[in-house]
Structure 1
């Protein structure tokens, strides 16, 4: 058959085929655009981007220096810190959690400037809480601005997958306008900067941290389940590191105006705006897996903080304590513990960190 000769029937069908072709191309382009939303540079090596924070003997680097394994054993935990401070940015890593019995363990991926601004530091946290074998991992996000430790803005969730089986991407987007926490490409939380927040919204340059440590005193069932070192070492793996932002000297009194263009470029990225599809995914996640939100904790905040957007479907889920009405919905403790945050410098020497509010 000569494919360059068209019958009358083929000529009549050609517009239909052309239309179908255009639909396929358009659909493919849209899908590709969604996929490329996280098409960030992941070629950084550990030596280019991070340095040891504490217990270097428990940090293992791959031969190509693109994967870092942080260990917790009976001697110490371990941690790393970005080599630079950033004035806003997008920070991300593919992380695989420890397996087996992980009660009492905390793995953290976060931004902070506590070592430069000890009394008025900023911080954005993603903290993963281990559990007894067979129970799901839990995690929480938090925001502190200008030393507002007593006004932490924590939310707590249950994992919808086993994070110890495969690596998953965890990301923190931080701009002058909003902060978004992502798990893979699912936006799980957005904080939009409100004028009334004032210094409670993080605005000073921060470094990026990753740590693993023993939090037996509070992390699992209110401290009833301790780290069982029979299963040591506990290993968490970080790879595909992303540090996108304007590098600055945090001691400068006036931050360089050179960041203006880079911040504008950051804000223009696809992942700084949650799409309608992303809103649906976030709604699904929050209504199914969130088990505490400070926005609904009327005992702690008689008036919800200014950035809180009260969602009726979420409001129905929680009691005035900000905890679920249905206690049996999720496994694990809902008790709250406070984090001591005097200085991480001291904890570097001891191989651990202070506890996060639970």
Structure 2
């Protein structure tokens, strides 16, 4: 979701990004958040998927869920200021070449002989304030605004999310001390997650995996 066509210098963006796949390996998805044109601060998190997203449709939603499993919560803090997305956005599906970094740091390039590439989505549901892009509104207004501001994640969903992240999250910008010696403001907290990550922000289990240990593909039942 983005509004870059309306707010060219101060756009907001919420991303689900499916990274290039190497045959026989797990698929990875990356989420990212930009607010008010803050593209210099990437808020990426990456996760291994327990399925092949090209074989069938799955449910992806923001708040960040995959097949009703919560994977990420971005809590608005005062210190974030305008970096928290707040303006009307539209939904886009795009395909672009990220093989300079997305597949093992650019080791594997896109194979254009396999084109055409097609992205599809179906059964789209939008919960929010409908707006006319020409109005250039900067906030959700009316009675619905109070409802959406009050949405919180239940304790059960918090537990489910923690299990998912421990099992499947391979990178988090909040734990990347090389890239961000001073963490972004929303990351200034002591999290039990931090013990699972290297200073590079990479999950320790993923580092061991790449160093040669073999881990079985997890099913969703095994995760939860």
- The normalised TM-score by structure 1 is 0.54
Q: How many residues end up aligned between the 2 structures?
A: 209
CA distance in structure 2 between the aligned counterparts of 1:145 and 1:256, rounded to whole angstroms? 13
RMSD, aligned CA: 2.3
Residues 15 and 33, structure 2, Cα contact 8 Å, conserved in 1: yes
Residues 124 and 141, structure 1, Cα contact 8 Å, conserved in 2: yes
In structure 1, the residue matched to 2:22 is 132
In structure 2, the residue matched to 1:3 is none
For residues 161 and 253 of structure 1, do their structure 2 counterparts lie closer, same or farther at Cα, with a shift above 3 Å needed?
closer
Question: Would you say 1:297 and 2:187 are equivalent positions?
Answer: no
Residues 130 and 220, structure 1, Cα contact 8 Å, conserved in 2: yes
In structure 2, the residue matched to 1:15 is none
Give unpaired runs (5+ residues) of structure 1: 1-110, 173-179, 332-358
Offset from partner CA, 1:279-326 (integer Å, 9 cap, x none): 1211111111111111111222233222224322x1111122212234
CA distance in structure 1 between the aligned counterparts of 2:64 and 2:136, rounded to whole angstroms? 29
In structure 2, the residue matched to 1:321 is 200
Give unpaired runs (5+ residues) of structure 2: 212-224
- What are the within-5 Å matches in structure 2 for residues 138-177 of structure 1? 138-172=28-62
Residues 298 and 322, structure 1, Cα contact 8 Å, conserved in 2: yes
- What are the within-5 Å matches in structure 2 for residues 1-358 of structure 1? 111-172=1-62, 180-252=63-135, 259-267=141-149, 272-308=151-187, 309-312=189-192, 314-326=193-205, 327-329=207-209
Residues 112 and 121, structure 1, Cα contact 8 Å, conserved in 2: yes
- Secondary structure of the residue aligned to 2:11 is coil
In structure 2, the residue matched to 1:55 is none
Residues 248 and 255, structure 1, Cα contact 8 Å, conserved in 2: no
- Secondary structure of the residue aligned to 1:217 is coil
Deviating above 6 A after TM superposition, structure 1's stretches of 4 or more consecutive aligned residues are: none
For residues 132 and 196 of structure 1, do their structure 2 counterparts lie closer, same or farther at Cα, with a shift above 3 Å needed?
same
In structure 2, the residue matched to 1:66 is none
Q: Which has the higher strand share?
A: 1
CA distance in structure 1 between the aligned counterparts of 2:9 and 2:161, rounded to whole angstroms? 34
Residues 29 and 46, structure 2, Cα contact 8 Å, conserved in 1: yes
Residues 87 and 138, structure 2, Cα contact 8 Å, conserved in 1: no
CA distance in structure 1 between the aligned counterparts of 2:9 and 2:19, rounded to whole angstroms? 27
For residues 256 and 281 of structure 1, do their structure 2 counterparts lie closer, same or farther at Cα, with a shift above 3 Å needed?
closer
- The normalised TM-score by structure 2 is 0.83
* 1:267 CA displacement: 4.7
